[in-house]
Structure formats: structure tokens, C-alpha cells
Amino acid sequence: MRIIETGGQPDTHVSCPAVQAGPAGPGTPGRCDLLAEHTLEVSINGRAVLNLVCTPSQLPELVLGRLYTEGIIRHCGEVEEIRLSPGRDRAAVTLLREAGPEPEAPYVETLPTSCPDNRLLSDRFCLERTLRPVTPIPWRREWIFSMARALERGTELYGLTRGAHSCSLAVEGEILYLCEDLGRHNALDKVVGCALRDGTDLRRAVLYTSGRVPADMVRKVIRAGIPVMASKTVPTRCAVDMARDHRLTLLCMAVNDSFQLFSGALDR
């Protein structure tokens, strides 16, 4: 797989004037760092397939991870090339296969629960339409607490803007990747893309997210084959049901010394 990047790196955050005000008085002029919103159009073999609104960092990994968690590719070997335009607003993906036939039923778009401008424009390249259960693995509570502590220590973009989600991926308790984005789905896709790029076995991985866990986040994790998912915040009931149906270990409200287990078995 080739990754071709041209042009400079867009800013991930920008400084914006603001006035800080309290209960009374004129306020104090100042500046705040705000996250940049970047739009990325993804085409596959010349056909527009995805629109992503994201933080403009780790874009090849974001694209690779999104292709995987949408069921468009089964492994990196299907991707010949990811080429970013000079403005980094377009990603041209070359797959080593063509699109499938036009489906008999029209494609019905489902918008994600965050960043609704993140859109799948066509499902003709999708291969995996049925979710397969993951294979549970032994895990340790300390792995979860360690990942929670790493998040508590702070991440760069969140420290600057207070507006970024983060996602980390660990194997056997070792945190291998920690990615940030304005959208929690994007941050998840970035760590998955990093793992695919490096050949990391996702079937042995634990994923930790800073964001809440609706069903579409759980679906991504299951499709990636990741057996353990943890979150700093809460799941939805539909997400819990999906996790149980697909043997995903799901832990939420996970902090540095406790969590709530919604699906799967406790470690021993």
C-alpha cells in the first residue's frame, strides 16, 4: 500500500479573539484556541464514496480506518494507494478491485450520531454488511485503569482547545496509539488505521474512547474485530444490546480506579 501526501499540513487549531466576561463588568479581551474543521472528500477508484468532517491530522490513517470499519475493505492488502491532494481536502483511494453491481434496493443513508456531515455517499464498495461476533480475550482491569490514567494526564489538542475527543488502542496493556479528532468516530477510525498500517493484530486489542458509546461506535469496534471496548462515559441501551449479541466486552464510565461492565465477563 502506497500513501502519497503532497502539500503542507493544515492547522489543527486556530486562535480566535474572544471576550471573557463574568457576572458584571466590561469583560476582558483575549484569545482562545479553537479546533479547525476540515472537510475531506474520499473517492474510491474515481467514485466519490465518503465525505468526512475532521481534524486535519493523520488523514491517511483516518481514511484507512474508515474504509475498514465501514466494511469497504477486509485488510490493507486490498488498498493499492491513498493519495492526498495538495490541499489535503481530497483523498483518492485505489482499490485492487472494482465496485460491486448496483444494488436492487436503493441505498438509504444513515447519519452518524456525531459530525452528521460525515456521510457515506455510496455503498457499492461495501463487502461486509453483516456483523460477525468478536472472539473474547483474557484481559486485566489494570489495562483499563492505565488507559484511563493516560487520558486523564491530558492530550495535546484537548489541552489547547478543550474540544477534542481522543481514542487509544493497547495490546497486552501497552498503549500503542493515541489519536485525537473533533469527532469521536474519527478518533476511533484513526487508531484503527494506525493499527492496520503497522500490521497490529486488532483481535488482541483493547480500545478506549473519551466519548459516549452509541450503537454506531460499537458497530465500528465489532467490525474491526476488537474484543474489548472501554469508554470514559456512558453507552446507550442499543449499544449494550449490540455488544452482548456480538460477544464484545464493553466497559463504560471507566476511570483510573473503577468502571461499569455492561457486556462480557470480568477478568480473573
Kindly report, residue by residue over 149-159, the tens digit of the pLDDT: 999 888 899 99
Rounded (5°) CA angle 242-247-248: 75
Cell of 87: 490541499
Q: Are residues 217 and 105 in the same domain?
A: no
What is the full DSSP assignment across 59-83? Answer: HHHHHHHHHHHTTS-SSGGGEEEEE
Q: Are residues 163 and 98 in the same domain?
A: no
Alpha-carbon distance of 41 to 48, in angstroms, equals 7
Higher pLDDT, 252 or 113: 252
Q: For residue range 9-56, list pLDDT tens digits in order.
A: 899 999 999 999 999 999 999 999 999 999 999 999 999 999 999 999
Q: Are residues 101 and 157 in the same domain?
A: no
The pLDDT of residue 99 is: 58
Alpha-carbon distance of 254 to 232, in angstroms, equals 5
Has residue 202 been placed in a domain? yes
Local confidence band at 124 (pLDDT 50, 70, 90 cut-offs): low
Q: What is the CATH number of the domain that holds 145?
A: 3.40.140.10
Query: How many domains does the chain divide into?
Result: 2
Q: Count the Cβ atoms, other than its own, within 10 Å of residue 104.
A: 5
Structural domain span for residue 167: 141-263
- Strand ranges, E, within 9-137: 13-20, 28-35, 38-44, 47-54, 79-84, 90-95, 119-120
Q: Count the Cβ atoms, other than its own, within 10 Å of residue 264.
A: 20
Q: 240 with 263: CB under 8 angstroms?
A: yes
Alpha-carbon distance of 266 to 268, in angstroms, equals 6
Has residue 151 been placed in a domain? yes
Q: Are residues 108 and 173 in the same domain?
A: no
